[in-house]
Structure 1
Amino acid sequence: MAKLAGVLIVEMATEQKSTQEMATEQQEMATEQKSAQEMATEQDSAQETATEQDSAQEMATEQKSAQEMATEQDSAQETATEQKSAQEMATEQDSAQEMATAQKSAQEMATAQKSAQEDEDGSSSSTEDSESEEEDEGSEVDPDKLESESDSSEDSSEEEDIEKMDEPTAGWTSKNGKIVWSPTNDETLRYVPQTKGRLTPGPTHYAIARISDPLSSFALLLTDEILQYIVDMTNLQGRRSVAGWRDVDKEELQAYVGLLVLSGLYRSRNESTLSLWGEKWGRAIFRATMSHKRFHHLSRALRFDNEQSRRRSRDDRMAAFRKVWDMWTHRLPMLFNPDRDICVDEQLVPFKGKCSFRQYMPKKPAKYGIKIWATCDVKTSYAWRLQVYTGKVGGKPEVNQGMRVVLDMTQGLKGNIITCDNFFTSFALTEELLKRKLALVGTIRRNKPELPPNLLQARAVFSSMFAFTKNHTLVSYIPKRGKNVLLLSTKHRSPDISDEMKKKPIIIHDYNRCKGGVDTLDKVVATYSCRRKTQSWPLALFHNLIDVSLYNAYVLWKSVDPSWHQQKSHRRRLYIQEVGEMLVTPHIKKRGRLPRSSAANELVKNLHIAAAGPSPISKAKGGRRLCNLCTGKKKRVSKSCGNCGRFTCKDHRLIVCSACCVSPEFES
C-alpha cells in the first residue's frame, strides 16, 4: 500500500514539477508531519479527505490550457478513482497512518501549486470551501461546463435553485401516462351546446294527435296489439292447464289490467285477493267486474309466449317475455322527447323467485330482483328507454359494460347532457359521447388510470382542485375528512365554485340536480304500484310494465292538457283512478249475471242504467201532481213516465229493467 500511494504521489508531482523537486518537497513535508492525534482524526474522516483530493485534482485541471483540458479531465477522473480505491484499501489494511501521511502531503502540495499559479496568472478560481460544499450536497459536475461553473458563486447557484422551484408545472400526467392534465383552463375550449338536430322536448306529434282522454294516453303504451298477443298466448295456456277454461277476450283482459291498476291505487298490493273480493271489507268494484275465481284463473294462465315453441337457448334468457317487452319499449321513445338533461342509471324490479338473471343489489330497497338499465328525462322522469340486464354472456364478465350501456341507452340523441354515476363514467366514454355531440357529467372512481395522482392527495376540508384538457374538466372536492369526491365533466370548462359555506364546485351542484332522474321514477312507481306476489318473473316484469306505462301516460296527458285538475295536489291519483275505472267499465256493462254482493249489484245496475239512457219512470219537476190514469179518486204523485211524460201512480206503473225499456217491444 505504501508503494501504491507513493506511485500516485509521484504521478501527480510529475504533471506540475520535475521529479527531483517533488521528492525533495515530500521529504520536507514528511519531516513536518503533524502529531499522532491529528493523524488519527484524519483517519476517521477518510471519506472527507477523498473529497478534498477530488477538489484538488479539479483545481489542478482548471489551470491547464483549453487545448489540453479534455485530456487532463479524463486523467483527473482516473486519478480520482484510483485515489478512492487506494483510500478503501488503506482502510482495510493496518497501514492507515502511512496512507494518511501521503494524502496530507498531496493536499499541501496542491495548495502550494495553486499559490504559485495565482502569482503567475494574477487570477483566482472558485475557492476550496465553495467547491467542497457543493460536493457535499451531492451535486454532479458536468465536464463540458467546468469553466462556467468555476465563474459562478455559491449565492448565484442558490438563486437558480429557487427560480426552478418557483417555475409553474407544465401539466399533470395521468397514471397510465397517456393524458396530460393542466391545472389551469387556459387551453380549454369553450362548451357550446348542440342545438342543430336536437329533438324538441315534450310529447311527439304522433302522441298529441292520438290523445283525447286519460285512457287514450295509457292505450298508446299498452296497445291493442300487445293486448291481443297476450290474449292469444293466455288462451293457449288456459286450454292446456286450467280445467273448464273459458276463453278471454281483449275487453276482459283490459278489465283484468284495470283491477291491477285499482289495487295499486288503493295501496292493496300486499293485501290478499280474498280480502279484496270480500263482501264486508272488500271493494265493490272488484266483485262488480269479475268473480274472484275468474281473476285467479286469469292470473294462473297469463302467458306472454308459447311455451312449446319457445327456443330452449341460453342466448336469450328473456325469451318468455321478449316479444311483449320489445313491442312495449319500442313505443317509449316514439311518444316523448326528453329535455336537455337526461339520466342513465339502473332500476331494480323486486323479485325473489327463481330467475337465471336475478341480481343482488344491497343499496336498493328490495335487494333482490331484476336489474333494468334506464334512461330518464330529468325534468319529468319519463322512462325514455329501458333494457333488461340478463347476466353474463357465456359465464364471462362483460368488458367496459358501463360504456356499452350508456352508448346503447343514448342512441339517437344529440345535444343532450348525460348524468350518470361512477359505474358508467370513464374518459373513453366521454370521448365517444363527444363524437355524438353529447356531453357528460358524472362521478368517477379513483382507481381509473386516466386520473392524475395530484388530485388524489389529502387536502383541507371544503377544498377543490381542478384539472383540465381541451374538452374535459376534472374536479376533486373534499366534503369531509378522509373523503375525496371526483367528478368528470365535458359540459363545464371553468373552475367555478359556489358561494355557500361548503364551497362546492358548480359541477357537483349540477350533478346533484340531475342524478335523481331514475330514482324519482322508482319512487313514484312504488307509490301506486300494482305488483302482486308471484313466483313468475315474466309476470313481475308485466306488473312493472303497467306501473311505468301509467306514469309515462300521466306525463303525456299532463303535457297535452296542463289545465286538467291543475289546482289539485293529487292529480296523479285522480288520473290512475280514472284510467282504472275506464278500463273495467266496458266489461262491467257486458256482464250478464249480477254479483251477490248488494254494493256490487247496485254498482252494476247503475252502470247498466247509465248505459241505457233515461229511465221510463222519472221524478216530476215542480212538485206533486194528480195521476193522469186514475178514473175515480185521483192520487197525487211525484213521478211521471219517461216516455210520454204523464204522471202515474203505483197502480198504473210498471217496473221494467233497463234492457227492456229500450227494446222495440216496449216502445211500441
Structure 2
Amino acid sequence: MSQSEEFIWEVEDNKNALKNLKDMEITVSNKTSEHCESFYEDDVKQSYSDEDNEDQCEDPLDNSADDVKVTVFQGEYNEVDFINEVNEDEPILPRHAVIHSRNKRSKTYPSEFISPNGRIWSISNASIKTIVPTDLSFLKLMPKGKGPAAKVKNVLEAWCLLLDERIIATILQYTNEKIHSFKGKLSYQRRTDVVELRAWIGLNYLCGIFRNTAYPGPLNELWTWELGNSIFRATMSWKRFEFLASCISFAAPNNKRGALQCVMLVQDVWERFLANCRSYYAPSGNCIVRDTVINANDNARLTVLCDAKSMYFCNAIISNQMETKAIRERIVLHLVTDIKGSNRNIVLNEEYTSAILAQKLKHRELTLTGALSNESEDVPHALLENETKYKLYSDIGCLISYTATTETPEFLLTTITPGVVAIEQLYKSTNQSWDHLEHVIAAFSTKNAGSETFNNGALNLFYRVMDYAAINAWILLKLSTSGLSSAPTHREFQRDLGLYLTQMHLKRQLHDKNKLTLPQKLQISEVLGEPTDKLLADACEVVKKGTARGFVPTDQLQLPDGLILRTRELERRKRCCICIKYQTRTRCQQCLRAYCHRHLIVRCNDCMGVTELPDP
C-alpha cells in the first residue's frame, strides 16, 4: 500500500467520527440559538520557570466533576466549520517531482526543502511521527463548570466563587491599614468594611456600563443630578468613592522597584484569583495563548490562556516584555499545565510558535496550531521565492503556506494532521474569538472607573482582575445546569452584578435612621424597588412631634417659690441625659442637667416672669 493510500485510508477511518460530531452539532443548533459574546484551583504559586515539578502537578480537570451534566453551549464558533469532508491533501500528494501538461512545458518542483535551522520539510507526509491522535477528539471536548460552579443559580453566586471572601478580606485588611496611616479627619476618610467594599466594587462595574463611550466626560458626572445616575449618589458620595480608590491596597507597602512592582503589590490576590479560575472550569478542546498590556506606562505584560470557544480566562502569567525565546516557551508550557494529556489544541501567534515548542507540546499530548513569520528559522527560504501554495511535512507536523490579510505570504505550523481539519479556518476563527474578547473588555471595562488624578499600577491590574471575574462568572452561569433558562448578555450580567453588590450597602443605609436625609432614603428605596409609604408616614410623624404644642396644667407646674435660675450655657460639652448620643453645651436652668435642644424647653424671661438673671 502506498503512502498516499495510507493517508486516504486514515481519513476514511475518521468519517464515522465526523458523522457523530455533525449529529451533535445539529442537536446544539436545535437546543440553543444563543451566540456567546465572550467568556476557576488550589493555592498554586505562579512560577513559569519551574518546569522540573511540572509532572508532579495535579491536574484540576481530573476530579468527580466529570459526572456532571454538561450544558449545551454554542460558543464563538461551530466545530463543523473546521471539518473537511474531502481530503485537502489529494491535489497535493501526487506532486512529487514533475507535473506534465499537454500544452505547456513540464514544471519541476523540489520534493524537499531545508529551513535555516536545518529541518527538512518534504511534500510527502511519510515523515510525520504521530504522537497525538489525529482524529476529531479535541473538537468533541465541550466547556463545563466544575464543582460548585456547575450548579450556580444567580449572578452573585457565580462571581463569589472567583473573588471569594478570602480575597475580599485581604483587600479590606490592607485598605484599612492605609486609611489608618492617612489619619484623615473628614467624614469621607473613615475606615471601611466588607459591605461597603463590595459596594465600591459594584460601582466600578456600573461605571464600566455607563461610561463606555469613546470620549467619556469626567467621572464625577455620574454623581450629578443633571447627568448622573441615582445608584451612584445613593450608594456613596463621589468624594468617598474617589478616596477608597486612592486607598485601595492589596499587600503591605514595600520599597521594591521594577517593571513587575504592580504584581508584587497584588500578588496574594492575583494568585488566589488564578487558583479559583482554574479550579471551577474545564475548557473546550481549542485554547488560545495571547498577550495583553496591563499598563501602557510600564513593561509588564500579561500572557493569558483562554478557551477559544467561550473566551473563559483559564490561566495567566505576568512577565517582562524584554524576555527571551526560551522564556516564552516556558511561559506556554506553564500555562498548559492543567490541560496536558488531554489532546487539546493550542493556538499561538508568531511570537510564540516554533518547531521546538511544537515538539514539547506533542510530548505532553497537546497539539499546536500557530503562525510563523517569514523571518522564522523554521520556514525554508525557497518558499519565500515561490508563490505556489505548499503543504510540507516534517517529523513535528505540517507547514502550510497561506495568504493572510496582507499580500505577503505567511505560514501556519500545526501538529494536527491536515486534511481532516481545516487548519486555516481553525486559526482564523480562534483569532476572531480573541478579538471579540478584547472588544468586550474594552467596552465594559472597570478601568472606566479609574480617576485621572492618579496612576496606580496595582489598581490597574485589579481592574483587569474584576473584568475577567465578571466574564468568567458570566460563562459559568451560562454553563450551569441550574442556571437561568435564558442567559443574559454580558452587559446585562455586569449591570445586575453591580446592582447586587451595592444592594446590601443600600439596605443598611436605609435602616440607619440618623445617617441620611429623607430625600436620600426615598432615592434608595426607589433604587431597591421598595415601597416608600412607610418612610413618608414616619417622616410625617416626626414633623408632627416637632411642631406639636404642649399643654401643662397650672397645678402640675414645678416652680417652687424663690426659684433661682442659672445660666443655660455649660463650660464644656456634656452628653444629653435622655438621648446620650449627642453632646451639648446647654442645660436646664433649674436642675442644671445637660439636655440637648431636642429635649430642652426654651421660654423667654417675660413668659417666665423673671425680672433679672443672677450671675453664674
CA deviation after TM superposition for structure 1 residue 382, in Å: 0.7
Q: What's the counterpart of residue 70 of structure 1? A: none
Aligned residues: 414
Q: Is the 8 A contact 2:113 2:121 kept in 1?
A: yes
Matched residue of 2:292: which SS? strand
Give the secondary-structure state (helix, strand or coil) at the position aligned to 2:162: coil
Q: Take 1:320 and 1:166, find their aligned partners in 2: how far apart are those partners?
A: 64
Q: Report what 2:392 is aligned to.
A: 467
Amino acid at match of 2:168: L
Moved more, 324-333 or 600-609: 600-609
* Alignment correspondent of 1:530: 446
Aligned positions of 1:337-416 closer than 5 A: 337-352=282-297, 358-359=298-299, 370-392=300-322, 397-413=323-339, 414-416=342-344
Partner in structure 2 of residue 281 of structure 1: 227
Q: Which residue of 2 aligns with 1:572?
A: 490
CA distance in 1, matches of 2:406, 2:528: 70
Identity among equivalent pairs (%) = 22
CA contact (8 A) 1:242 1:301 kept: no
Contact kept in structure 1, 2:231 and 2:527, CA below 8 Å:
no
Give 1:230's aligned residue: 171
Amino acid at match of 2:231: I
Kept in 2: contact 1:277–1:292 (CA 8 A):
yes
Question: For the Cα contact (< 8 Å) 1:464–1:477, is it kept in 2?
Answer: yes
* Helix, strand or coil at the partner of 1:231: helix
**TM alignment of 1:478-493, pairs within 5 A:** 478=403, 483-493=408-418
Q: Give the TM-score, by structure 1 length.
A: 0.57
Matched with 1:417 is 345
Secondary structure in 2 matching 1:371: strand
1:312 corresponds to: 256
Q: Decide whether the 8 Å contact of 1:188 with 1:493 is kept in 2.
A: no
Is the Cα–Cα contact under 8 Å of residues 163 and 273 in structure 2 kept in the other structure?
yes
Contact 1:193-1:415 at 8 Å conserved across structures: no
SS class of match (1:331): helix
**Residue 249 (structure 1) aligns with:** 193
Conserved in 2, the CA contact under 8 Å of 1:347 and 1:518? no
In the other structure, the counterpart of 1:267 is: 211
Contact conserved, 1:444 with 1:486, CA < 8 A, in 2? Answer: yes
Structure 2: distance between partners of 1:218 and 1:544: 15
Q: Of the candidates 150, 162, 170, which is equivalent to residue 221 of structure 1?
A: 162
Match of 1:514 in 2: 430
What amino acid is aligned across from residue 312 of structure 1 in structure 2? K
1:596 and 1:374, CA in 2 relative to 1: closer, same or farther beyond 3 A?
same
Distance 1:399 1:315 in 2: 19
CA deviation string 1:234-268 (max 9, x = no partner) = 00000111412422111110010111111112126
Match of 1:85 in 2: none
* Cα displacement string for residues 142-183 of structure 1 (whole angstroms, at most 9, x for unaligned residues): xxxxxxxxxxxxxxxxxxxxxxx9998563233233x22211
Q: Provide the rounded CA distance (Å) in 2 between the counterparts of 1:455 and 1:314.
A: 43
Displacement after TM superposition at 1:205 (Å) = 2.2
Q: Tell me which amino acid in the other structure corresponds to 1:325.
A: W
Q: Residue by residue, what CA displacement relative to the aligned partner does 1:275-333 show, whole Å, maximum 9, x if unpaired?
A: 111123221111111122222221121111111xx363659632111111111112111
Measure the CA separation in 2 of the matches of 1:517 and 1:253: 33
In 2: Cα distance, 1:560 partner to 1:289 partner: 31
Shift of 1:386: 1.6
Residue 446 of structure 1: SS of its match in structure 2? coil
Q: Distance in 2 between the 1:481 and 1:572 partners?
A: 33
Q: Is the aligned partner of 1:440 residue 2:351?
A: no
Alpha-carbon distance between aligned partners in 1 of 2:405 and 2:535, rounded to the nearest angstrom: 74
Q: Does 1:294 align with 2:224?
A: no
2:125 partner letter: N
- How far residue 437 of structure 1 moved from its aligned partner, in angstroms, is 0.4
> How much does 1:516 deviate?
3.3
Q: Pick which of 378-387 and 243-252 moved more.
A: 243-252
Is it true that 1:586 corresponds to 2:508 in the alignment? no
Q: Deviations over 1:40-85 (max 9, x none)?
A: xxxxxxxxxxxxxxxxxxxxxxxxxxxxxxxxxxxxxxxxxxxxxx
2:409 partner letter: N
In structure 2, relative to structure 1, the CA distance for the partners of 1:321 and 1:401 (3 Å cut) is: same
**What's the CA shift for 1:541?**
1.1
CA-CA distance at 1:189 after TM superposition: 5.1
Contact 2:371–2:411 under 8 Å retained in 1: yes
Partner of 1:9: none
TM-score (norm 2): 0.61
Please give the residue correspondences for 1:587-626 in structure 2 after superposition, counting only pairs within 5 Å.
587-591=505-509, 592=512, 593=514, 595=516, 598=519, 600-605=520-525, 610=530
Q: Give the Cα separation in 1 of the matches to 2:126 and 2:143.
A: 35
> 3-state DSSP class of the match of 1:381?
coil
What is aligned with 1:18? Answer: none
Q: Residues 463-501 of structure 1: CA distance to partner in whole angstroms, max 9, x if unpaired?
A: 41121124411122356996211111111344x8xxxxx
Task: Report the equivalent of 1:192.
Answer: 134
* Inter-partner Cα distance in structure 2 for 1:291 and 1:335: 36
In structure 2, distance between residues paired with 1:560 and 1:480: 38
Name whichever structure is richer in helix by fraction: 1
1:458–1:482 contact (8 Å) kept in structure 2? no
The C-alpha deviation readout for 1:101-148, integer Å capped at 9, x for no partner, is xxxxxxxxxxxxxxxxxxxxxxxxxxxxxxxxxxxxxxxxxxxxxxxx
Q: 1:610: Cα distance to partner?
A: 4.1
Give a deviation string over 1:593-650, Cα, whole Å, max 9, x none.
565594x432324578949999999xxxxxxxxxxxxxxxxxxxxxxxxxxxxxxxxx
> What is the deviation of 1:590?
0.9
Q: Give 1:589's aligned amino acid.
A: K
Gaps of 5+ in 1: 1-164, 353-357, 360-369, 497-504, 618-668
Distance in 2 (alpha carbons) for counterparts of 1:597 and 1:535: 37
Tell me how far apart the structure 1 counterparts of residues 529 and 145 of structure 2 sit (CA, whole Å): 38
Q: Is the 8 A contact 1:173 1:452 kept in 2?
A: yes
CA distance in 2 between partners of 1:468 and 1:609 (Å) = 66
- For the structure 1 residues 387 and 420, does the alpha-carbon distance in structure 2 shift closer, same or farther, using more than 3 Å as the test? same
**Who is 2:585 aligned against?**
none
Cα distance in 1 for partners of 2:474, 2:155 equals 8
- Residue 594 of structure 1 contacts residue 604 of structure 1 at CA under 8 Å; is this kept in 2? no
Alpha-carbon distance in 1 for matches of 2:349, 2:256 = 36
Q: Is the 8 A contact 1:351 1:537 kept in 2?
A: no
SS in structure 1 opposite 2:502? helix
1:344 offset after TM fit, Å?
Answer: 0.5
Give yes or no for contact 2:355–2:396 (8 Å, CA) kept in 1. no
- Quick check: 1:339–1:377 contact (8 Å CA) kept in 2? yes
Contact 1:189-1:471 at 8 Å conserved across structures: yes
Q: Structure 1's 174 and 535: CA in aligned 2 closer, same or farther, altered over 3 A?
A: same
The question of whether the paired residues in 2 share the 8 Å contact of 1:214 and 1:579 is answered with yes
Say if 1:262 and 1:167 are closer, same or farther in 2 by CA, change over 3 A.
closer
- Matches of 1:480 and 1:312, distance apart in 2: 44
AA partner of residue 588 (structure 1): L
CA contact 2:477–2:483 (8 Å) conserved in 1: no
Aligned partners of 1:479 and 1:290: how far apart in 2? 51
CA RMSD of aligned residues (A): 3.3
How far does residue 200 in structure 1 lie from its aligned partner after superposition?
6.4
Does structure 1 retain, via aligned residues, the 8 Å contact 2:150–2:481?
A: no
